[in-house]
Structure 1
Amino acid sequence: MNEHFVVVDIETTGNSPKKGERIIQISAVKMNKENIIDQYTTFVNPEISIPPFIEELTGINESMVKDAPSFEEIAPFLRDYLQGCIFVAHNVLFDLQFLQNEFERVGVEPFTGSMIDTVELAKIILPDSDSYKLIELAESLSLTHERPHQADSDALVTAELLLYLLQKANKLPLVTLEKLADFSMHLKSDIDILFDDIVMEKRKHIEDLPHDLEVYRGIALKKKQLSAKIDHYREPFQYPETSVEKERLLSQYVEHYERRNGQFEMMDAVFASFQQTNDAVIEAGTGIGKSIGYLLPSIYFACKERTPVVISTYTIQLQEQLMKKEIKLLSDILPFPFKTVLLKGRSHYLNMFKFEQSLSERDWQYDSLLTKMQILVWLTQTVTGDVDELNISTGGSVYWNRIKHDGWHLTKEKDPWISRDFYLHAKKTALDADIIITNHSMLLTELVQDIKLFPDFSYLIMDEAHHLEHAARQHLSISLGFNTSKFLLSRLGIYEKKQLYYQLERLSDAQNISVTVHAFELDFMIHELDLSLDELFMMIGQFIQHSINKKEKSQPKLRIRLTEESRKKPSWEKIKLCAEQIVALFTDIRKGIQERLDALNQQSGQLKNKEKALLEEMYGFIGDLEQLQSSISSLVLHPLEHHVYWIEGDKRALPNSITIMAQPVSVHSALNEKLFEKMKSVILTSATLTINHSFHYFKDSIGLNSNRKVMEKCIPSPFDYEKQTKLFIPNDIPEIHQVSIQEYAQDITNHLIGIAQATKGRMLVLFTSYELLRLVHDYMKACGLLEEFILIAQGITSGSRTRLTKNFQRFDKAILFGTNSFWEGVDIPGEDLSCLVMVRLPFSPPDDPITEAINENYKQKGINAFTAHSLPEAIIRFKQGFGRLIRRSTDRGVVIVFDRRIETTSYGNAFIKSIPPLPIEHGNLSDIIDNIEKWL
């Protein structure tokens, strides 16, 4: 291998050299496998102006490049500097292609050597990294990165990253490296050069495996160890009753410890509820330390009574946080040992038998290939086999669906990996756990279905409990989407001869299986099914188009409720006929596949492992096929009682975007029967459970029966909101229904521009409508008054909620626009956020199918649906939105509510009463801006 690399980074005026964009800075670091040798850096005069966004991002301005050389002047030297080396960059295809275009423009020969992408290499060597962005990799690996988005700093940190990745690769077992070298020939950059070189070096001397690794069936993996059962008999389990005892316990390990009386109150409430086998609903305000508030008493109770306590959260982030932060802290603090496990659904775990067999397939599809390589490295690190540890692409998730665990369809003993199975290991680990951490979805699956992963338990804490109703509704929902249906058929092999059905057919022929449904018949039915599904969704697309009203015609995304009335339309009758034909085809296809599988299963003693793995995958597929058939039946042919049905889709992508959904109107009876009645004690907690200090709405929404003993406790936040924040309500914004949405958006924009300049950005703007968000974003971008500001908008700026939030925190002058998911779960402490704007009060749209069905349900009972459901739901969301601003005792900021209904309606005051007491100011835009500037 060539011993030298040149790591290159460029800063440019834009992404496209063909459209006249130019380089403004370039840096090249020369290095070998061990050391950095040299660095060349220069600004480049682009001979065009630098856009404000680029200046804000890079810190490079016109004065810095004015006297710099042009690219034409440095190109010959740069070309010589690169010659004979391997070209390396973070996202190499961009940097190298841009340079090649510039070389061509100035008449210099292009670079002709090999290239390596550190993004691609990092994905393989660091498969569990949260992000592969350079700035975030540097931070997680503690690499010095002084000036992100300047070429000299970026190139240097990329060189250090390459050294780190090479060292990590060198430590991998030879058996892993040999497989990586084989697969890497088919990647986008020339990483095979690196792996071939390392393999050649390793083969020169015999090395011992690290003591915590083993090689089994040709794959290196980390050894699993079951921790010994903790004997609590002789341990003193005196729960710290007094505040002094609690403070002494916590203060010895917690840096900068601050006593929180609310946290102590919560501990006592949890412990007492468990001891007295009561339920409890606890609203714990922001800042009281809720997680420790329920974990500490749970651990004391679980260890003392020798019974597990299950902690359920709504989000994976909170699960991980509890394990990595609070549980780790408590294991240091408490004077006795305890055991905690994190449990997830079966499909989270890797099936090693299926994975082993997939490695022998000569399938060079990029995402599958990269994911195989990531898993090979990950197996040397993981003891859980939990996919949430992996950072795989969307395409990689398709491959994961093939190799995930879905139980055993042959007997367990026929799986050669049974002794190292991750799912069974999780079950064994949970048997003697004191604390089991899971999520609402997994918990409901465990309680409703007969897949038993948990040991028997009777004590439960539900954090983020305001999501319980939604989680239960989601869990009991039925859905049918065009893309999922077609993907299932693609797995069967409708498009590629090497897929499941054709492999099964070849195996059946080889084993001389006798069948009643012949291959040609099955083949015909599968193609008929494919065509019928196309026809079904085409007709549903036409049904949507004919059902929308004038207002909806202007909106790309649609939600059409299916009612008894709409099902009487002739067009729906045609859809039903098509669905009947599909269900019949499904039945015949399943019968044809099942008889082959059952016959082969009886002969499984004669089959090779690869063939057994095919049977396992095929049995799993049959289960998916059965589920799809059941969904079509319930959604189209035999609607369930007390369910709300709707169709959603994007007009720009019909029929591909179509999904039919059904959810129960009420989850009361299901939660009572499957959850509350099975438990001795359930603690439900969140920062937002009450309306005007009453738990009535929350308890009613989840069906927590009045015949159960329930302790109610509302623990206020310790923050001093009167000093830390101020609420502004502008009085010169029109009522939204009095003007067009475009006029309303322009008014909002004018106010936001003034407020942004007063707060210097650092502003989160919450919307309830994506259409309004898009209009305001576009108006603000076009106004020309905020060129130095970065506008980051959900659905417009690419990236997940977490990525958008991180990008917002990186810039001094940034405005973040968000809808539904941004009203909660976004944590931006400190000076990064000093202004929160709520454009509208967060009522659910009245035509939302679920809202509509719930409201109808109330009306049938003679109850006012607005006061019983719509208003309380909006108040809870308002409280969640308000909670985004103050996250620490040192935070300060302003809240601005544009919706005039908070003042002009009889119910508006209910929103004000739902948040802590704080100063409120009314006024026109100029008064408010003056007051904001003074206050901040």
Structure 2
Amino acid sequence: MAGKYVVVDVETTGNSYVKGSRVIQISAVTVENSRITDQYTSFVNPEVPIPSFIKELTGIGEEEVAEAPRFGEIAGVIHSILDGAIFVAHNVKFDRSFIAGELEDAGFANPIEKTLDTVELANILLPKANSYKLEELSDQMELEHITPHQADSDALATAELLLMLLEKAKNLPMATLEKLCELSKNLNSSMFSFFESVKKEKESRLESLPEGLESFRGIVLKNKQMPAGEAPIRSLDYPKGIDDKVKLLQPLFKEFESRNGQYEMMDTVYQSFRTSTHSVIEAGTGIGKTIAYLLPSVYFSVGRQEKVIISTYTIQLQHQILEKEIKILKDAVPFSYRTALIKGREHYINMLKFEQTLKEPDSSYDETITKMKILIWLLQTETGDMDELNLSSGGKLYWKRICNDGSFVDRNNDPWTSRDFYLHSKNLAESADIIITNHSMLVADLEHPVLPKSHFIVIDEAHHLEKSVRTKLGRKLDYNHIKFLLGKLGTTEKKKRFYTLERYTAKASAVPSVHSFAVDHAIQNIEAETDDLFTLLSQMLKRTRPNKGKNRRAKLRVSDQIRSGGSWQKVMMCAERFLDFHKLISQGIQERLMLIKKSQASLSPAELAFLEEMAGFHGEWTEMGLQVKHLLSQSENSDVMWLESDQKCMANRTSVHRQPLNINCFLSERLFKEHKSVVLTSASLTVNNSFKFFSEEIGIHSFDRIETRFESPFPYEKQVKLLVPTDLPEINSVPMEEYAESIACHLIAVANAAEGRMLVLFTSHEMLRKTHELLYDSNELRDFVLLAHGVSSGSRSRLVKSFRHFQKAILLGTNSFWEGIDIPGEDLSCLVVVRLPFSPIDDPVTAAKLEYVQAGGKNPFSAYSLPEAIIQFKQGFGRLIRKKTDRGVFFVFDQRVITSAYGKAFLKSIPSIKLEKGPLDHLIPSVESWLDKK
């Protein structure tokens, strides 16, 4: 790496120099000849107050900077260090803006000419990294990073990261480097110089590709491996006794705990498969249910030569099973077995399309970065699965162009067929014993089979199955998606893909019946009809459901009464015009694709790639038309339809939804009737110790089945105390603002007693936002880090990581935070449920469900609302205790849990623990003593 690099990090009082934020610490590490040669560090007196959040984050307060020099006093030193060097930082714009601003104010010219951003470089060279934050990269790459968020440690870690990335770049194949150099010319940094210098250094040496890599059509990628065929095992004895199971599992865990519930669950799953019987199993927290269903599945699959499908709720859980529990069992069982993870084809890269996009000039920044990181990823991946990649939002849009979503090109004409990742995943699945998929893919397979045939299925997180089926079988239409598809067609003649398609049609000497002028006219008109359609829908929503709260998301169920009104008739007329233009465009594209397909053997790879992309687009376009037709057609009694928008009810933020109300018949016919044994398991399936509600919801109630529960092995009575304050008002008896103020006051008191480590679960985004605003404005929690879903930036997983990072943290969450969050140990010691999790009765699906239940002669509250809320309540409670050594307090702010007749049903749904009730000031000492905070 030629030249001198100076790696800089600054800690500041805020995010913007021009808005008055100033440097409080600076560190500059000099890197020359691929090694660190010097480091300069100094605190800086900013002459402005340091916010409490910055003190908590960095550990730097007024005491540390009181005797430190002002920046002007060290500006000369900084200028001389940076002069003539390439300026490197992790998020270079931030550090550069502060250094340039401080130097200019001190009377120095800005010496920074060339920059290099290690965020950008890591994005390219570490395509599979979970995060590009410095602290998390340091953990992943095992770099020394002693005191994160202090400039000396951050700068040194960034310098070590730079050297590690340089080493990775040096080991890249020459063909990959050449493509990176070509692409990096589009980037606004010294990225081109970086890769060019590495390439020139390698040019002086002869190199051969490392083992396991191959170069094909100028792209270097990893060889795919098919597992070797093995002779079937004739006899395989399942470990029936406890001693046999302990002997298998004990060597695999440092802190092994023998769990009778886990062993009993193993036997139940094996019996279910062996006798071709369905089973429903509730496994309490700590049972170890994943191993409990995997071990018998593996023994049964290999011993009986029968594939077993494991379905999880999310793709993340798919990977967790493959990378954690499957690996554990491979070391345990005395035989080998094969596993395959399979997803929808859009998850896999289409190499023909990717190859051709590399040749496109003038790519956007996000596209360029994504192309570069995919080139690196192809050296590592055997799956071609996009979920291995950490993509930006712009990168995900680019992926839609290059994913395996079409089938226009015949395999014989696609030069990449022999290296197709989707076909490879299907081949692996065909040869596998255990196939891991997700609920969405499983439901899709029930309609249109793609997965290898199997009569034996395990469905984990089965309490989500009903929702997964409704979502997958349902339809959604939104303005932005239609506009995105129209954008793919293009709005100018120069960019219109339809005109490119027309040129290829002419080249094939074919004459389509739908003239291009007619298609062009339809494209222009359908844009106007789209605007009109969603304006009508949003106006109807705003008129019928005036906004009740600043942050409320409006929903309107489309009832028969609404359908008979004049406003809906206008919507239908507009939709009909839309569909007329849509049909003409669809015919024009399809006809041309079919005409060209006949002569595709004579087309170039670039032409084939474009046509494959157009075929994928046509599939999306056709599906969108079906959505409009289905969503706006006469409603079936079994469906529920609604409009949804944000508080402003703007046309481009309005969507139309339609879902089947009940999916039990679908699952009964397609899943339980067609398969010999389906095992359904979750930590939350029963209500009042009965599976009745769950079984009827998913349609298994009419089948013979095993039903069993395995209690958690945790000693909850020694780990958790349940506290119910009695001095909070009923939500319906006071204005929402007053109720939120009461909640905020109680949270402040509880947070101080528990010293943070507190997760607060809401049932309403509006209530969460209002409470967060009050907590923030009160200044009573200024020493705490306050995080809120939908308010603080970042995904759910990012917020959870931030919560675990800070000692005194409070996390406010809604729906998705009630489950799937694993925060063991002292990171979470206080859980607060603000309200019992009843679904709002004005939610379209809930309202339709309640009407349906009532029409069947049942009480809608006791037959639907209460059981659904209890299952959610159980999931929420399960966030607190994740290990045998955990300890915490569980607050329920909703007094209905002790005052209502149905409150006992909630308390019976969780383990038996000590309950204390009374005014909050009477409960606070219990919090402090239980958590040992005195």
- TM-score, normalized by length of structure 2? 0.98
Which string of whole-angstrom CA distances, capped at 9 and with x for unpartnered residues, describes residues 324-344 of structure 1? 111111111111111111111
Partner of 1:150: 150
The offset of 1:112, in angstroms, is 3.2
Query: Is contact 1:213–1:221 with CA below 8 Å preserved after alignment?
Result: yes
Amino acid at match of 1:315: T
Change in 2 beyond 3 A, CA 1:716/1:136: same
Matched, 1:229 2:229: yes
What's 1:358 paired with?
A: 357
Amino acid at match of 1:159: A
Deviation at 1:614, TM superposition (A): 1.4
Corresponding position: 1:559 with 2:555:
yes
| Counterpart mapping for 1:249-260 below 5 A | 249-260=248-259
More displaced stretch, 810-819 vs 593-602: 593-602
Taking the aligned partners of 2:53 and 2:863, their CA distance within structure 1 comes to 48
1:88 aligned partner, one-letter code? V
Q: Trace 1:565-714 onto structure 2 (pairs within 5 A).
A: 565-652=561-648, 654-706=650-702, 708-714=703-709
Of 820, 845, 848, which residue of structure 1 is paired with 2:840? 845
1:166 matched to 2:161 = no
Residue 919, structure 1, aligned to residue 914, structure 2: yes
Query: CA offsets per residue over residues 201-255 of structure 1, 9 Å max, x none?
Result: 1222220101100000111000001111232335x51111110111111112221
1:17 aligned counterpart, secondary structure: coil
Q: Distance in 2 between matches of 1:85 and 1:650?
A: 49
Equivalent positions of 1:787-866 (< 5 A) are 787-866=782-861
Q: Distance in 2 between matches of 1:307 and 1:496?
A: 56
2:884 is aligned to 889
After TM superposition, the structure 1 stretch with the greater mean CA deviation from structure 2, 13-22 or 822-831, is: 13-22
List alignment gaps of at least 5 residues for structure 1. none
| Structure 1 residues 506-525: Cα deviation after superposition (integer angstroms, max 9, x where no partner) | 32344443233322222121
Q: 1:83, 1:113 within 8 Å by CA — same for their partners in 2?
A: no
Indicate conservation of the 8 Å contact 2:644/2:656, yes or no. yes
Q: Quick check: 319-328 or 658-667, which moved more?
A: 319-328
1:705-753: CA deviations, max 9, x gaps? Answer: 32x2211110000000000010000011111111111111111111111
Name the amino acid aligned to 1:270. Answer: V
**Cα shift at 1:504:** 1.2
| SS of the residue 2:41 aligns to | strand
Is the 1:767–1:820 contact (alpha carbons within 8 Å) kept by the matching residues of 2? yes
Q: Check 1:806–1:699 CA distance in 2 against 1; reply closer, same or farther (3 A cut).
A: same
Q: Deviations over 1:784-813 (max 9, x none)?
A: 221110000000101010000000000000
Residue 499 of structure 1: how far off its partner (Å): 4.3
1:462 counterpart residue number: 459
Q: 1:336 is aligned with what amino acid?
A: F
Could you tell me whether the CA contact under 8 Å between 2:552 and 2:765 is conserved in 1? no
Distance of 1:652 and 1:604 partners within structure 2: 49
The TM-score with structure 1 as length reference comes to 0.98
The amino acid of 2:593's aligned partner reads L
Q: Does the aligned pair in 2 maintain the 1:556–1:652 contact within 8 Å?
A: no
Quote the sequence identity (%): 50
Aligned equivalents of 2:541, 2:224: Cα separation in 1: 53
Asked whether the 8 Å contact 1:230–1:337 carries over to 2, the reply is no
1:488 corresponding residue in structure 2: 485
Which of 526, 531, 542 is the equivalent residue of 1:529? 526
Q: What is the one-letter code of the residue matched to 1:233?
A: I
Query: Residue 241 of structure 2 aligns with which residue?
Result: 242
Report how far residue 612 of structure 1 moved. Answer: 1.2
**Partner residue in 2 for 1:443:** 442
Shift of 1:111: 2.3
In 1, the alpha carbon distance for the partners of 2:788 and 2:401 equals 35
Q: Distance in 2 between matches of 1:784 and 1:632?
A: 50
Aligned equivalents of 2:116 and 2:513: distance in 1? 55
Aligned to 2:19: 19
Distance in 2 of aligned mates of 1:755 and 1:908: 23
In 1, Cα distance between the equivalents of 2:121 and 2:370?
Answer: 12
- 1:482 CA drift (Å): 0.4
Q: 1:238 to 1:670 in 2, by over 3 A?
A: same
Amino acid aligned to 2:914:
P
Could you tell me how far apart the structure 1 residues matched to 2:184 and 2:487 are?
Answer: 26
Could you tell me how far apart the structure 2 residues matched to 1:301 and 1:30 are? 60
Query: How do 1:222-371 residues align onto structure 2 when only pairs under 5 Å count?
Result: 222-233=222-233, 236-371=235-370
Contact between 2:640 and 2:661, CA under 8 Å: does it hold in 1? yes
SS at match of 2:471: helix
Q: Is 1:720 matched with 2:715? A: yes
Deviates more, 1:561-570 or 1:818-827: 561-570
Distance in 1, matches of 2:179 and 2:499, equals 27
- 2:514 counterpart of 1:517: yes
Q: Which amino acid aligns with 2:685?
A: L
Structure-1 separation of matches of 2:283 and 2:112 = 63
DSSP 3-state at the match of 2:648? helix
CA distance in structure 1 between the aligned counterparts of 2:164 and 2:405, rounded to whole angstroms: 37
SS of corresponding position for 1:552: coil
Partner AA of 1:151 in structure 2? A
Offset, 1:685? 0.3
* Counterpart residue type for residue 819 of structure 1: T
Of the three residues 746, 760, 764, the one matched with 1:765 is 760
SS in 1 for 2:794: coil
Letter in 1 for 2:413: K
The one-character-per-residue Cα deviations of 1:574-603 (angstroms, maximum 9, x if unpaired) are 111111011111111111222222221122
CA contact under 8 A between 1:33 and 1:163: conserved in structure 2?
A: no
State the match for 1:543 in structure 2: 540
Do 1:579 and 1:637's aligned partners in 2 also have CA atoms closer than 8 Å? no
CA distance in 2, matches of 1:379, 1:496: 35
| Aligned-partner residue type, residue 639 of structure 1 | S
* Runs of 5+ consecutive residues of structure 2 not aligned to the other structure: none
Taking the aligned partners of 1:653 and 1:849, their CA distance within structure 2 comes to 17
- C-alpha contact 2:552 2:766 (8 A) present in aligned 1: no
CA distance in 2, matches of 1:705, 1:823: 27
Render the CA deviation track for 1:338-380: whole Å, top value 9, x for unaligned. 1111111111111111111111111321111111111111001
2:127/2:374 contact within 8 Å kept: yes
The whole-number CA distance in structure 1 between the counterparts of 2:23 and 2:550 is: 42
3-state SS of 2:47 partner: coil
* Contact 1:2–1:85, Cα closer than 8 Å, also in 2: no
Is the 1:385–1:422 Cα contact (8 Å) retained in structure 2?
A: yes
String of CA shifts for 1:49-70, please: whole Å, max 9, x gaps. Answer: 1111100000001011000000
Residues 1:672 and 1:363: Cα distance change in structure 2 (over 3 Å): farther
Cα shift at 1:655:
1.1
Cα distance per residue 1:860-916 (max 9 Å; x no partner): 111111111100000000000000000000000000000011111110110000000
Matches within 5 A, 1:497-512: 497-512=494-509
Q: Which residue of 1 aligns with 2:56?
A: 56
* Matched residue, 2:74: 74
CA distance in 1, matches of 2:475, 2:317: 27
Partners of 1:161 and 1:828 lie apart in 2 by: 29
How far apart, in 1, do the equivalents of 2:72 and 2:507 lie?
67
How many residues align structurally?
Answer: 931
CA deviation after TM superposition for structure 1 residue 496, in Å: 7.0
The answer for the alignment partner of 2:898 in structure 1 is 903
| Alpha-carbon contact 2:406-2:613 (below 8 Å) kept | no
Q: Distance in 2 between matches of 1:233 and 1:829?
A: 40
Superimposed CA distance per residue, residues 539-591 of structure 1 (whole angstroms, 9 cap, x where no aligned partner): 11111111114x63654421111111111221111111111011111111111
Q: Structure 1 CA distance, aligned partners of 2:776 and 2:548?
A: 26
Cα contact 1:2–1:86 (8 A) shared by 2: no
For 1:535 and 1:317, the matched residues in 2 are separated by: 39
Q: Which moved more, 1:906-915 or 1:195-204?
A: 195-204
What one-letter code is carried by the residue in structure 2 that aligns with 1:603?
S
Q: 1:653 to 1:505 in 2, by over 3 A?
A: farther
In 1, are the aligned partners of 2:720 and 2:888 still within 8 Å (CA)? yes
